[in-house]
Structure 1
Amino acid sequence: MPKITVNKAVLSYKFLDNRNAETLVFSNSLGTNYSMWAKQENELSKHFNILFSDTRGHGESETTEGDYSAEILGNDILQLTEILGVKSFIFCGLSMGGLIGQWLALNAGERIEKLVLCNTSPKIGTKESWNERISIVKTKGLKHVAENTAEKWFTDDFIKNEPEEVQQILENFKKNSAQGYSSCCAMVRDADFSEEIKNIEKPVLIISGSEDPVTTLDDGNKMQKLIKNSQHIILNARHLSAFECPKEFNDALLNFLK
């Protein structure tokens, strides 16, 4: 993928300019890279220009020093899109990407046309749990925390029926920079839009996984109540709903966006 320097970091991205009227920007979850959206590319490219990127500290994007924040990662998206000539866009983020989306809607709403918040919450986890994870990764590496990741990300049936796909996602997880992953953990630890999310005015689609143990169905229901111009779709999935249920996910996006 091409690389470009934005916001003092080198980001790896893939921009599909299909000469459509609207651009759809995707943002990956913690521990993945842009390939988690592979099952969205072909179908949604028929209707939109598509921009994928590896979040700072993930995939082929640069790992910069220090803790990251929603502001830093949100500005990565704003500067990348501006350099590519995309003045306004639809944003779709999952988990950590959903936190970035909330920051964008609250701080750069004039650039956002619509927002898709997948398997996320205004506040994910606790300060203590994230500090513990950061400590484990720094001392023992990503392989140690990868052990139980599949069970959090995918239903038992998917793990059983699609072992190669699950293995590929886990291999990508382990290839990430431990420092970059920890820096993004700090971002998720510190991001809290619980009081502000009610101020989002753009149309919002919330997608939850019925079996998601990380950002639960209850989290999705609470978000829908707080965001006045929102709708909530539930998929039979765990945390990586876009990867586990691509047809249902793509249909939900198209119904909302078109």
Structure 2
Amino acid sequence: MPHAKINGIDLYYEISGREDGPPILFSNSLASTLHMWDPQMPAFRKHYKVIRYDSRGHGKSSAPDGAYSIETLVDDAIGLLDHLGIDKTDFCGLSKGGMVGQRLATLHPDRVERLVLCDTACYMGPPELWEGRIDTAAVDGMDGVVDATIMRWFTGPFQKRDPDAVDKVREMILNTPVAGFVGCCRAIQAMDQRETIQAIAAPTLVVVGADDPGTTPDAAREIQKRIEGARLEILPEAAHLANIEQPKLFDEAVLGFLGKG
């Protein structure tokens, strides 16, 4: 599948599903790739032209040095839509991808049909938290952050029940370029969308795992409170990657919201 020259980098993307279907754009979390959405593909491909891409700094996309910004990541997404000739799309992003979705729907309301924000936040302080992760990755590489990340991303019972799924994500984390991880950490560290997301007009669903320790249910409720008419779905027995821990419930909630259930 192709790369596109977008916003000064090579952005890797894949398209699948119904060629004549409405588009949906999936955006990945920090330290993952477009394959974090693999569990969703059987259900979503029945209804959609599915577009997935590796965020700047991740997977098969370029990983330039230096700090990124949420606005730069939004420009990448808009550039991809322009490259593909897509005027308007449904959008589904998790964690960092959800932060991109919030800013995308704020800055480019004409490009977003419906918005799904998963296990994400509109603000992720304090800055010192991110300095610690950045310093660890800079010194020890992604080996230094992978174990703690897995513990935040999956509940203990799921780690025992489906070690293969966890190992796939572990490989994504370990293969993330340090420059890309650090660049996106800087984007999250500098982000504060608590006021700006109040301008979002697109119909919005907020999804969160009940046991997510990072982008918590309270963080999801804050987004819901600030976006007029937003709906909230809390998935039981799931941590940060709720789409992987509870794929059936996730698909049902999201496709139902999108009118495809």
> Normalising to structure 2: TM-score of the pair?
0.96
- Does residue 56 of structure 1 match 2:52? no
- Three-state SS of the structure 2 residue aligned to 1:100 is helix
Structure 2: where are the runs of 5+ without partners?
none
Give matches, 1:1-258, under 5 Å: 1-16=1-16, 18-236=18-236, 237-258=238-259
Structure 1: where are the runs of 5+ without partners?
none
Shift of 1:157: 1.2
1:202 and 1:229 in contact (8 A); partners too = no
Q: In structure 2, how many angstroms separate the alpha carbons of the residues matched to 1:208 and 1:20? A: 31
Q: In structure 2, how many angstroms separate the alpha carbons of the residues matched to 1:219 and 1:65? A: 30
Identity of aligned residues (%): 37
Shift of 1:22: 1.6
2:66 and 2:183 in contact (8 A); partners too = yes
Shift of 1:210: 0.4
- Three-state SS of the structure 2 residue aligned to 1:11 is strand
Q: In structure 1, how many angstroms separate the alpha carbons of the residues matched to 2:50 and 2:35? A: 13
Shift of 1:217: 0.8
2:33 and 2:55 in contact (8 A); partners too = yes
- Three-state SS of the structure 1 residue aligned to 2:58 is coil
2:19 and 2:49 in contact (8 A); partners too = yes
Shift of 1:243: 1.1
Task: For 2:49, give the aligned amino acid.
Answer: N
Shift of 1:65: 2.4
Q: In structure 2, how many angstroms separate the alpha carbons of the residues matched to 1:22 and 1:250? A: 17
Q: RMSD of the TM alignment (CA)?
A: 1.0
- Three-state SS of the structure 1 residue aligned to 2:92 is strand
Task: For 1:180, give the aligned amino acid.
Answer: G
Shift of 1:206: 0.1
Residue-by-residue CA offset, 1:41-60 (whole Å, 9 max, x unaligned): 12101111100000000011
Task: For 1:112, give the aligned amino acid.
Answer: V
Equivalent residue pairs, number: 258
Where in structure 1 do 4 or more consecutive aligned residues deviate above 2 Å? none
2:17 and 2:46 in contact (8 A); partners too = no
> Normalising to structure 1: TM-score of the pair?
0.97
Task: For 1:120, give the aligned amino acid.
Answer: T
Residue-by-residue CA offset, 1:86-132 (whole Å, 9 max, x unaligned): 11001100000011001101100110001000001101232111112
Residue-by-residue CA offset, 1:23-67 (whole Å, 9 max, x unaligned): 110000001000000011121011111000000000111011211
Task: For 2:175, give the aligned amino acid.
Answer: K
